[in-house]
Structures are given as structure tokens and as C-alpha cells.
Chain A
Amino acid sequence: MKIQINGRWYEAREGEMVLDVLRREGIDVPALCAHEAVEPYGACRLCMVEITHEDWGGWKGNVTSCLYPVEDKLIVQTHTEDIIELRKTVLNLLLARCPNSPEIQKLASEYGIDTTSFVPREDADNCIMCGLCTRVCTQMGFNAISVAGRGYGREIATPLKEAPPDCVGCLACVKICPTHHIQYEDIGTTREIWGRQFELVKCKQCGKALITREFADYLIENRDIPADYFDICDDCKRSGTARDFKKLVHWEEKEEAEEEVSA
């Protein structure tokens, strides 16, 4: 099927969301709470676009592109005056919530907002409540963290605000967070995240610490990964392969040389 975006036609696939097409085609629409690893959620409201269709009798509306499934001949506008106004309002609010976040500051300034017109949050952290961290943690099957509270006091938290028993220290939440709010620290062979400490597995060859014992065990048990997979790190595995490859090449050379001799 085809959909029209800002006057040009693009190929779209059944089951995709409008945002998927926008991203694939490199059309610049801000979207902070959508990630290919998890189901769309519609939290940040930045990805709003205008849609219409020739069969809709002139009706058009503004929708979140991350949650709107494509349909044939859908007509999308990503930067109408209304849409830009909507995004400005959202960014103005996000900037009040997270006045210190470089990512939010940058995005807001792209839309001409340098300071929020609302009262900035006191003691603000950089969490925009996009829910990516909790969703990816659930998607991975750990369910270690969740949204706690309601209304103004809503926050991402560990159960009972204690070290989360179900966390394996995989760092998926850290990596997916659009505003780098989630902190962790690797000191020697210890990783600390969410107030919990993990021992890191060391590579048997170079000694580099890369993954927590808990996460390695989880992957070995649930993802069909060989039990000794994490004994040696990827870098050492690669140089190991290179060595083997060299041996192989030299072996062939040797063969050739021997052949020449015998010929």
C-alpha cells in the first residue's frame, strides 16, 4: 500500500504505524516514547501528525503517529501550523518538568522554546515518564521496575523503593531511556543499578567484565545460548576467530607449497 506524507507517496506495509514509515523514510518528527523494541504507548504526544483521506469527506484530525496504523492512501502532514503549536505546547510542558535535560532543551529550542512559560518543577530530575524503561524491562521478562503513584507524584520506581529483587542488571532500561535519566555504575567487577549490586562475569582470556552473572544465567537458560558463551568476551572471540582464520589461510598456503614441491 501507499501513503502520502507531506505531498509525496511512500510505500507502507500492513500492520505498520505511521511513525514506522516516517522513521524509515527519515522524515523528522520528534517521538520520545516510541522504540522498535516495545509496543507503542502514546505517552509523550510529540509524534502528533495530521491525517486525512480522500474517502473521508474532507475530515481530518490530529493523531499520535506512533499509535496510528497505516491504511492505503492515507494522507499525512507532519508540520501543519496546528501540529507545530501542539508540539510546542508539549515541549513547553516537558521543559517545565525536566528543565535540566539537555535532550529536552535541545528539542524545545528546535521548536523555538528556550525557557518554559510554566513554573519549572522543583528538584527536577530528567525523567519524562515515557515508560520506555518499564516497558522494555517487562518485554525482557523481568518486570523489575514499574510506574508508582498517580497524578503529579507519578514516578518510575522499584517495588517498595527497595533494591529490586527481579532486576538482573541488564541495562536495557538505561540504554532505552531517551533522557539518560537512569544511572548505573560499573566499578571493577561490580555493577550498581537501582540500588542493587551485581557481580560481573569476567572474560576468561582478557579479564574484561561485561555482563552480570544473573543476566548471563538468564540468557543461557531462556534464549538458547550455550552455557559457556559468556566465558569469553566478544572481542576475544573475534581475535580467536582471526587466529583460527590465519591458521586456515597458512594451512592452505602450506598445502599449495607442498603441492608445488611434489609437482
Chain B
Amino acid sequence: MKPEIDVAELKEIISHSPQKPSSLIAVLQDIQRKFHYLPPEAIKETSSALGVPLSQVYSVATFYSAFSLEPRGKHTCRICMGTACHIKGAPMALEQAEDQLGIKAGQTTPDLRFTLEVVNCVGACAMAPVVIIDEKYYGNVRVDKMKRYLDGVRDED
């Protein structure tokens, strides 16, 4: 399911930055923040507004992992699968999260609420296993608490 994109809103976001090629990354970041992904319209609008060839906008948009060309959930749940977290039960946390959300790692729930991802070592091995929901880090996660963490985020909406 692709969310509706309000082109006027898109133009408005783009207009916040100086209309020149060097604004490219900043503009894409702003759009990503707002829509949680870069819709095709965004790639095209950005190209014409900043005077950067479409192919180059696409190249940059696909290079950085901070950008996504697929719709993403409002919230992102990342499960660390680095060595330390792996040993401390991360695969079970992932399994729990997958069950709770009804999706696999790398996917987004159809209601665009959650995107589930695995990452490799976030540098907090001392508190393994680590789960990151949006900007918040949860350390020493109890696998049976995955539901509670996710519900907590849901309740805040």
C-alpha cells in the first residue's frame, strides 16, 4: 500500500532549503523525516527544484541507508543481531517482534505503523541484547517483554 502524497506539501518542504544542488541531502532528509520514505514524486520534484539531474538524485537516494524508497512505518523497531546480542538471545527477540507485528525483518506493517529491521552491533554490547525503537534504546531486553515495548510505542500515538 502506497500512502497518498500531497505534492503541495512536498513542494513546501523542498522550499525550506536554498534551491541549489548542494541542498540535495538536506532536502531528502527533510522529506524522509516527514513521509518516512522518499516517494517517487519527491525524487522528481527535488530534481527539478534543485537543478540536479534525476539520475543523480536517484543515485544519492539509493546510496544512503538513511533513505528509503519504499514506504516505511511511522515507527522503526531495530533489533541488534551483532555477536554479543546474538549470544544473549537476540534471535528470540526478533522472533517475538515478528510475531507481534506479523511481519518479517525488513518489512513494514500494512498499516504503516512499524518497520522491523535487524542491525549489526550498535556499540552497546554491555547491555546486550539491545532493541532500538525509534530513537530509544532498550538494553538487557527480556525477550518476553517485546510485546510490552511495542505496545508502549503504540499507546503513545
Contacts and interface: CB of A to CB of B under 8 A. Distances in A.
Interface in B73-120: none
Interface in B35-85: 40, 43, 47, 53-59, 62-65, 69
A159 B63 contact: no
Q: Is the interface of B mostly helix, strand, loop or mixed?
A: helix
A135 to B, nearest CB: 12
A25 B133 CA distance: 62
Query: Size band of the B side of the interface?
Result: 10 to 19
Given A159-B54, A165-B54, A166-B54, A148 B59 contact: yes
A101 interface: no
Given A159-B43, A160-B40, A160-B43, A166 B62 contact: no
Given A146-B58, A146-B59, A148-B58, A166 B40 contact: no
Tell me if A's interface is mostly helix, strand, loop or mixed.
loop
Nearest to A161: B58
Contacts of A144: 55
Nearest to B60: A146
Contact of A164 (B47, B55, B62): B55
B28 to A, nearest CB: 14
B157 to A, nearest CB: 31
A150 B67 CA distance: 12
A150 B62 contact: yes
A8 B83 CA distance: 55
Interface string A129-170: 000001000000001111111100000011110001110000
Contacts of A145: 55
A166 B64 CA distance: 23
Contacts of B55: 134, 143-146, 158-159, 164, 166
A149 B69 CA distance: 11
Contacts of B53: 143, 146, 166
A94 B63 CA distance: 22
A147 B61 CA distance: 11
Contact of B56 (A146, A149, A160, A165): A146
Contacts of A148: 58-59, 62-63
Counting chain B CB atoms within 10 Å of each CB, the highest count among A145, A148, A149, A150 belongs to A148
21 contacts: A143-B53, A143-B54, A143-B55, A143-B56, A146-B55, A146-B56, A147-B59, A148-B63, A149-B63, A150-B65, A157-B58, A158-B55, A159-B47, A159-B54, A159-B58, A160-B40, A160-B43, A160-B58, A165-B54, A166-B53, A166-B55
Given A146-B59, A160-B69, A166-B55, 6 more contacts: A143-B56, A146-B56, A148-B63, A158-B55, A159-B47, A160-B43
Interface of B: 40, 43, 47, 53-59, 62-65, 69
